[in-house]
Amino acid sequence: ARGWHEFREIETAVVHRVTQFTEWQLIDCGGGVVVDLDSEGQEIFSASKVEALRKDSVVLYLQRDVGFLEQKIRGDQNRPDLSEEKSFSQIMQRRDPWYREAAHDVIDARDLRKHQIAGAVLEKYYAATGILPPGHPDAN
């Protein structure tokens, strides 16, 4: 059976591959993208994945309510449990500083609807890149 170590190795390869694309893209990473596993299977900060993502990209942390996220993943039958020893809340509490370290900016999306989140993402992207949005009077 494939385990978390193999999953994280594949994830690392995918991150390094997609960050080589030259055209603009939106990559929705899973919550474990900031994670590698040590030799004992414990989560550690993934400097290599975060560096690859930050190099030529705008990384945004969409902060959501932990209860909402837990309910969302519990409904996915294709998703294995994150941990047998730790609660989802404990995992998120441990990862939160890593998300903040990885991100260029944080969007507090706890009380936002999907269209509001999309608008906030675009606003942060345009601000970080200096690119003008379509329809802007000064845009080409």
Q: What is the CATH number of the domain that holds 26?
A: 3.40.50.300
Residue 80 carries which DSSP code?
P
Q: What is the mean pLDDT of the chain?
A: 87
C-alpha span between 25 and 73 (Å, rounded): 25
Q: With 0-12 CB in 10 A as exposed, 13-18 as middle and 19+ as buried, what is 17? A: exposed
Largest Cα–Cα distance of the chain, in whole Å? 56
The answer as to whether 67 is a domain residue is yes
C-alpha span between 59 and 121 (Å, rounded): 10
The answer as to whether 113 is a domain residue is yes
The answer as to whether 135 is a domain residue is no
The answer as to whether 123 is a domain residue is yes
The answer as to whether 10 is a domain residue is yes
Element (H, E) at 119: helix 114-129
The answer as to whether 139 is a domain residue is no
Residue 21 carries which DSSP code?
-
Q: What's the total number of domains in the chain?
A: 1
Q: What is the pLDDT of residues 24-74, one digit of tens each?
A: 778 888 888 999 989 888 899 999 999 999 988 899 999 999 999 988 888
Where do we find the tokens 């994830």?
11
Q: What is the pLDDT of residues 12-27, one digit of tens each?
A: 888 888 888 877 778 8
* Among candidate residues 20, 56, 55, 14, the one with its CA nearest the CA of residue 33: 14
The answer as to whether 43 is a domain residue is yes
Model pLDDT, residue 82: 65
Model pLDDT, residue 46: 94
Q: What is the pTM of this model?
A: 0.83
The answer as to whether 137 is a domain residue is no
Domain that holds residue 112: 4-129
